């Protein structure tokens, strides 16, 4: 259920028929949380089960007015007008009743201090709400949707991979269909489930890594190597025979490698040994595999196959070195790859046309690092970029030419290069435009047996940090922080929010810290963005649910993460969705690397490649009424495959 909700905002049903009428009592419960069940879902499930499903959907997609306003302070005017001494004192009392009481062994949720401030949330104006519709999909429809997702050719993040695998298991696929999956991570996970032995050596090594780490990524970093060594050490046991002679236990990995040797041959693994040497050597912790890995290493001297050259990977390097790009060769190579590979190249070229001096390199595990950058051949990069975008526009035209597309005025989507960098269903760099003042923030819950302390902060080049261990407002009171909460008990959980006024041009990184980080407990959270009026600042609420423009879900499994970028101008405020792991500090700070990261993120996303514009270039017709559109790209209608389907 959770997998289909997260991927497709839907539930499995037996048939697509509908039942006359509806469940008004259910609507009252779901509308308050921001969603409704479609008629086919109401028909397919008894009311008792639908009531249970409300909580399931709410955890993944819902956010009620009470949850949005479950912040430390309940009025922005309190934060604006109170002295920092008072705000600090109230915050310290909160810490004493949480971390302090825990140290004393007397912690109790009922005794946690939160200022007794009046909360008066505006009533919902149902007719104007943008509700998420939970659709019902038959097994045939689900199979078609998940097949399109995993054959799109775009890289998927870990949670999406696991969800896709769950749906594939639900709908069923045969061996030939599994072998036809383009997404290698999903394919690897299904190999184990279907007991399929891949012949390709890279695919087989990926299977080994998946068994040892539960990750399908081939990353030669310390974390992956440590996970492999830990797994093989735990499974590496010796067996003593009746004569007292010890010999290695034949582990799952050992049996798998022996099976590969019998059916394919170790020579194939020797072809890639040097490319993935650190991973191969990590498996030597398994005594049974040690001699096998040594054999592969010796075979590699004869059977090593160099990695195949990728012409498109060298484009930016060749331009930098003033090597002439052959247009005919470029057209040929572009014709061999999918749209997402073209998008990655387009972004690399686009950045090199800008006047920038920093760059942020992202690796496949989601981490990134910023460094200084210089690129002089901007004119040639721009020329090649035009050719790549022309090829991409031609691809998109096959899917959207002549179709009516609806996108709300306040939303700008970017071209997605990788789903791994999505925030919810937003491609990285997409942004919400707020013509008034803006409220944004996060909402989360405690884990089942652990309180969760998330900390939100803003860091700007000129203003420094605003957040939990710093000031709660800017000097001019144009930015206000709602206060820090260190627990998030159900039913309302906790929220941390910022109020940002329209003001002079300014850019800030939005940082999220997982203060009491536990590597075994990833924490789902929701990002909300709303518009506000200056004259409503004195009201006794933090977020008017009628003014919410976007709610999306994400997960933090690191100590520290950038989750967005806030840009203000005298005309509007903008929230950019962009996530990257930089650093591992419990408290965010404006170090040099943050300065470089902010420069990069602002340059990259402020002038990114806009999907809205590309759709028009590809021949679609933009409409103002979503009731008459062929493709609805409003945020509440986005499913995991909605934007990807425009490009595959």
In this predicted structure, what is the pLDDT of residue 232? 82
- Tokens 């309190």: give the residue: 78
Q: Could you tell me if 201 and 183 lie in one domain?
A: no
Residue 446 in any domain: the answer is yes
Residue 248, pLDDT > 70, answer no
Helices (H), 96-138: 101-104
Residue 107 in any domain: the answer is no
Q: In the chain, what is the straight-line distance between the N-terminal and C-terminal CA atoms, in Å? A: 26
Residues of 18-54 as b/e, b for ≥16 C-beta within 10 angstroms? eeeeebeebeeebebbbbbbbbbbbbbbeeeebeebb
Q: What is the pTM of this model?
A: 0.88
Residue 21, pLDDT > 60, answer no
Domain holding 594, by residue range, is 430-607
Q: Could you tell me if 472 and 347 lie in one domain?
A: no
Q: Could you tell me if 564 and 584 lie in one domain?
A: yes
**Which residues fall within 8 angstroms of residue 144, CB to CB, at 6 or more apart?**
none
592/581 Cα distance (integer angstroms): 15
**Cβ-defined contacts of 430-433 (< 8 Å, 24+):** 430/576, 430/577, 430/611, 431/567, 431/574, 431/575, 431/576, 431/577, 431/605, 432/529, 432/549, 432/550, 432/574, 432/575, 433/409, 433/572, 433/573, 433/574
β-sheet bridge partners, residue 10: 135
The percent of residues above 90 in pLDDT, for the chain, comes to 66
Residue 114 in any domain: the answer is no
DSSP states along 16-44: ----SS--HHHHHHHHTTTEEE-HHHHHH
Q: Which of 266, 286, 303 is the last residue of a domain?
A: 303
Report which of 294, 284, 302, 275 is spatially closest to residue 248, judged by C-alpha positions.
284
Q: Could you tell me if 252 and 209 lie in one domain?
A: yes
Residue 136 in any domain: the answer is yes
Residue 377 in any domain: the answer is yes
Helix (H) or strand (E) segment spanning residue 387: helix 378-400
Work out how many domains the chain is built from and give that number.
4
The percent of residues above 70 in pLDDT, for the chain, comes to 92
Q: Could you tell me if 277 and 136 lie in one domain?
A: no
Residue 638 in any domain: the answer is no
Report which of 205, 175, 202, 204 is spatially closest to residue 190, judged by C-alpha positions.
175
Residue 642 in any domain: the answer is no
Q: Which of 379, 397, 415 is the last residue of a domain?
A: 397
Q: Could you tell me if 249 and 176 lie in one domain?
A: no
CATH number reported for the structural domain that contains residue 487 in this entry: 2.60.60.30
Query: What is the Cβ-side half-sphere exposure of residue 414, based on CA atoms within 13 angstroms?
Result: 28
Q: Which of 373-377, 437-441, 488-492, 493-497 has the lowest mean pLDDT?
A: 373-377
Residue 155, pLDDT > 90, answer no
Q: Which of 374-378, 571-575, 586-590 has the lowest mean pLDDT?
A: 586-590
In this predicted structure, what is the pLDDT of residue 241? 42
Q: Could you tell me if 338 and 476 lie in one domain?
A: no
Q: What is the mean pLDDT of the chain?
A: 88
Length of the chain as a residue count: 648
Q: Could you tell me if 440 and 369 lie in one domain?
A: no
Residue 580, pLDDT > 90, answer no
Read off the pLDDT band of 504 (50, 70, 90). confident
Read off the pLDDT band of 336 (50, 70, 90). very high
Q: Could you tell me if 55 and 164 lie in one domain?
A: yes
Q: Could you read off the pLDDT of 46-81 as tens digits, one per residue?
A: 888 999 999 999 999 999 999 999 999 999 999 999
Q: Give yes or no for a contact between 402 and 625, defined as CB atoms under 8 angstroms apart.
A: no
Phi, psi of 596 (to 5 degrees): -65, -40
Our separate counts of H helices and E strands in the chain read: 24, 22
Greater pLDDT, 368 or 553? 553
**Which residues fall within 8 angstroms of residue 269, CB to CB, at 6 or more apart?**
201, 204, 205, 260, 296, 299
Q: Could you tell me if 226 and 266 lie in one domain?
A: yes
CB atoms under 10 Å from CB of 448, counted, come to 6
Pairing of strands 494-500, 479-481: antiparallel
**Which residues fall within 8 angstroms of residue 197, CB to CB, at 6 or more apart?**
191, 204, 256, 259, 260, 263, 264
Residue 628, burial from CB neighbour count under 10 angstroms (0-12, 13-18, 19+)? exposed
Q: Could you tell me if 458 and 356 lie in one domain?
A: no
Query: What is the Cβ-side half-sphere exposure of residue 287, based on CA atoms within 13 angstroms?
Result: 11
Q: At what angle do helices 47-60 and 24-31 cross, to 10 degrees?
A: 10
In this structure, what DSSP letter does residue 447 have?
B
Q: Which of 247, 281, 303 is the last residue of a domain?
A: 303
Taking CA atoms, 312 is separated from 69, 306, 584, in Å, by: 49, 17, 34
Q: Could you tell me if 470 and 352 lie in one domain?
A: no
Residue 488 in any domain: the answer is yes
Taking CA atoms, 610 is separated from 132, 198, 509, in Å, by: 24, 39, 21
Residue 190, burial from CB neighbour count under 10 angstroms (0-12, 13-18, 19+)? buried
In this predicted structure, what is the pLDDT of residue 584? 60
Report which of 552, 484, 528 is spatially closest to residue 67, judged by C-alpha positions.
528
**Which residues fall within 8 angstroms of residue 482, CB to CB, at 6 or more apart?**
71, 72, 73, 76, 79, 441, 495, 496, 497, 498, 499, 542
């Amino acid at each position: 259920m959770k997998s289909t909700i997260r991927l497709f905002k839907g539930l499995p049903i037996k048939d697509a028929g509908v039942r006359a009428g509806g469940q008004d009592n259910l609507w009252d419960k779901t509308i308050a949380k921001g969603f409704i069940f479609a008629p086919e879902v109401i028909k397919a499930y008894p009311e008792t089960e639908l009531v249970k499903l409300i909580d399931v959907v709410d955890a993944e997609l819902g956010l009620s007015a009470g949850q949005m306003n479950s912040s430390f302070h309940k009025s922005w005017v309190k934060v604006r007008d109170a002295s920092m001494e008072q705000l600090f004192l109230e915050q310290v009392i909160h810490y004493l009743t949480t971390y302090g009481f825990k140290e004393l062994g007397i912690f109790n949720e009922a005794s946690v201090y939160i200022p007794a401030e009046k909360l008066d949330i505006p009533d919902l104006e149902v007719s104007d709400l943008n509700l998420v519709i939970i659709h019902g999909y038959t097994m045939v429809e689900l199979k078609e949707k998940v097949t399109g997702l995993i054959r799109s050719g775009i890289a998927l993040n870990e949670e999406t991979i696991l969800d896709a695998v769950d749906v594939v298991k639900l709908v069923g696929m045969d061996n030939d269909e599994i072998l036809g999956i383009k997404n290698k991570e999903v394919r690897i996970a299904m190999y184990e489930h279907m007991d399929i032995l891949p012949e390709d050596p890279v695919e087989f090594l990926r299977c080994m890594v998946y068994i040892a780490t539960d990750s399908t990524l081939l990353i030669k970093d310390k974390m992956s190597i440590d996970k492999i060594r830990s797994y093989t050490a735990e499974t590496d046991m010796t067996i003593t025979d009746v004569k007292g002679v010890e010999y290695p236990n034949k582990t799952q990995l050992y049996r798998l490698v022996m099976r590969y040797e019998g059916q394919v041959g170790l020579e194939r693994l020797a072809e890639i040994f040097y490319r993935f040497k650190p991973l191969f050597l990590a498996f030597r912790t398994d005594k049974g595999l040690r001699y096998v890995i040594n054999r592969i290493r010796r075979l590699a001297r004869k059977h090593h196959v160099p990695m195949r050259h990728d012409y498109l990977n060298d484009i930016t390097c060749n331009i930098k070195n003033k090597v002439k790009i052959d247009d005919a060769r470029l057209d040929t190579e572009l014709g061999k790859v999918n749209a997402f590979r073209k998008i990655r190249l387009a972004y690399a070229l686009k950045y090199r046309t800008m006047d920038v001096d920093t760059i942020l390199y992202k690796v496949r595990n989601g981490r990134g690092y910023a460094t200084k950058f210089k690129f002089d051949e901007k004119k040639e990069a721009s020329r090649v970029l035009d050719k790549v975008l022309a090829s991409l526009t031609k691809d998109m035209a096959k899917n959207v030419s002549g179709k009516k597309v609806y996108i709300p005025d306040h939303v700008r989507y970017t071209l997605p290069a990788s789903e791994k960098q999505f925030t919810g269903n937003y491609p990285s760099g997409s942004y919400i435009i707020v013509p008034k003042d803006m409220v944004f923030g996060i909402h989360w819950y405690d884990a089942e047996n652990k309180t969760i302390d998330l900390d939100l902060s803003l860091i700007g080049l000129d203003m420094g940090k605003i957040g939990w261990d710093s000031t709660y407002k800017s000097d001019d009171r144009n930015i206000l922080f709602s206060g820090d909460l260190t627990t998030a008990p159900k039913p309302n959980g906790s929220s941390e929010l910022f109020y940002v006024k329209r003001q002079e041009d300014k850019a800030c990184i939005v940082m999220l810290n997982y203060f009491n980080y536990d590597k075994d407990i990833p924490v789902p959270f929701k990002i909300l963005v709303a518009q506000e009026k200056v004259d409503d600042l004195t009201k006794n609420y933090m977020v008017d649910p009628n003014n919410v423009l976007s709610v999306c879900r994400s997960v933090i499994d690191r100590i520290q993460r950038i989750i967005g970028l806030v840009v203000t101008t005298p005309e509007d405020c903008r929230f950019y969705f962009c996530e990257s792991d930089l650093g591992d500090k419990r408290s965010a700070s404006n170090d040099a690397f943050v300065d470089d990261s902010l420069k990069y993120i602002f340059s990259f996303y402020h002038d990114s490649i806009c999907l809205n514009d590309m759709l028009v270039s590809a021949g679609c017709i933009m409409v103002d009424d979503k009731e008459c559109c062929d493709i609805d790209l409003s945020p509440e209608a986005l499913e995991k495959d909605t934007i990807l389907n425009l490009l595959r």
